[in-house]
Amino acid sequence: MTDRRRHHDMGGLDDGPVEISEHNSEPWEKRVDAIRSLLSDDKRQLLSVDELRRAIEDLGADAYDRYNYYERWMAAVSNILLQKNVLSVDELGRKMAEVEARQGNKPI
Amino acid sequence: MTARYTVGDDVRVRQAYPPGHCRTPYYCRGKSGVIVRYCGDFRNPEDLAYGTYDGPEVPMYRVQFNQTDMWPGYSGAPQDKVEVEIFEHWLVPASS
């Protein structure tokens, strides 16, 4: 029988020991968190946590494994905003190039 | 929506594998358990996940399963349990 488990639905699979050490979030990660909160607030209502979760699940197995926690959030939020016509692909692409050029190799 | 089940009812999780977002873990689908708590009515994550924010609220329950039923070759104590919060539309009476 084909395995009908979706990639993210990992409950019960062996994945080694749990990493329990405390760590600080990077500034960009806090920013992603803030953007997510603002998009979901009463004024905007552009994003539910369920939509975020759905978009993360839909990233595909490769990206799901390769991205870290907030990279998944960022990719998912971007996809939802594109889908809802809040951003256009062109707008997002140009902005990313602009930020990259401004930033160079400096830490974000 | 009126809750269909009460504490103590034997239920089974539907064996369904929709392609979209749902909150019912894969590992408990098709398994039988018992209702141990009615958690209240909540908007359906399967609606919320696709941008429908004003869909109907649906009852959610905490369902208790035996670990030995859940995992093949479970080596823990035979009385070990696992509890999962499951929306009503994913449950059927265990007898059905």
Domain ranges of chain B: 10-93
What share of chain B in percent tops pLDDT 70? 99
Q: Is B35 helix (H, G, I), strand (E, B) or coil?
A: strand
* Region A2-6 average pLDDT: 83
Q: Domains for chain A: give ranges and CATH numbers.
A: 27-103 (1.10.472.20)
Nearest-neighbour CA in chain B from A6: distance (Å) = 8
Interior CA angle at A12 toward A8 and A18, to 5°? 85
* Core vs surface per residue A1-37: b (16+ CB within 10 A) or e: eeeebbebbeeeeeeeeeeeeeeeeeeebeebeeebe
How close are the terminal C-alpha atoms of chain B, in Å? 22
What count of Cα atoms within 13 Å lies in the side-chain half-sphere of residue A97? 6
> Which residues of chain A make contact with B48, given a CB cutoff of 8 A?
48-51
In angstroms, the CA B29 to CA B32 distance is 9
Do the beta carbons of residue A18 and residue A75 sit within 8 Å? no
By 3-state DSSP, what share of chain A in percent is helix, strand and coil, each rounded to 5? 55, 0, 45
pLDDT at A106: 67
Q: Is A12 at the interface with chain B, CB within 8 A? A: yes
- For A35-56, how does the pLDDT look when each residue is reduced to its tens digit (9 = 90+)? 999 999 999 999 999 999 999 9
With bands split at pLDDT 50, 70 and 90, how would you rate the model's confidence at A104? confident
Q: Is B17 on the interface with A (CB under 8 A)?
A: yes
Interface with A, mutate which of B15, B27, B28, B75 (most A CBs under 10 A): B27
Contact (CB<8Å) A54/B49 = yes
Q: What is the pLDDT along chain B (96 residues), one digit of tens a residue?
A: 689 999 999 999 999 999 999 999 999 999 999 999 999 999 999 999 999 999 999 999 999 999 999 998 999 999 999 999 999 999 999 998
Fold of B10-93: SH3 type barrels. (2.30.30)
pTM (2 d.p.): 0.89
State how far the Cα of B24 lies from the Cα of A29, in Å rounded to an integer: 29
How far is A79 from A105, CA to CA, in rounded Å? 26
For the beta carbon of residue B43, count every other beta carbon within 10 angstroms.
16
ipTM: 0.88
- Reduced to 3 states, what is the DSSP secondary structure of residue A97? helix
pLDDT number for residue B55: 96
Is residue B11 within 8 A of residue B89, CB to CB? The reply is no
